[in-house]
Amino acid sequence: MDYKKLLKVKISELFPDLNNQKKVLIELEKCSLGNSKIEKERVFLSIVKSSNGNIDKIRDLVTVAKKDYRDVLAWAENPNKMSHEFTTNKKINSELEKKDKEQFKKWIKP
């Protein structure tokens, strides 16, 4: 998956105004995540997804990602599982994971 290309597409979809697109990119660059370019772009994509087009939410999510980027990934990629009450029931977990995969695949399609 080309996260860099997908990131540009999703930013333009959620933030149609060019000034806001620039603001989003500036905020994302404040989030240093080390050397892994793929992981960085995956986190950026997760931040954009979870923002739902809200620039203030971008700032909040960048703050969270600076502390532990795995939270941002979990919220974006596994929203059903993250919002569901903790369970060790394998069937329920499997169903939630399936829903999460389906919603994420749907969301990443430009």
Q: Which amino acid is at 91?
A: K
Share of residues in the chain with pLDDT > 90 (%): 48
Answer whether 0.75 is exceeded by the pTM.
yes
pLDDT for res 35: 57
The pLDDT profile of the chain, 110 residues, written as one tens digit per residue, is 787 889 999 999 999 999 999 999 999 988 876 656 658 888 999 999 999 999 999 999 999 998 989 999 999 988 888 888 777 888 988 899 899 889 888 888 76
pLDDT for 13: 95
The domain ranges of the chain are 3-77
Distance CA 39, CA 107 (A): 18
DSSP string covering 64-80, please?
HHHHHHHHHHHHHH-HH
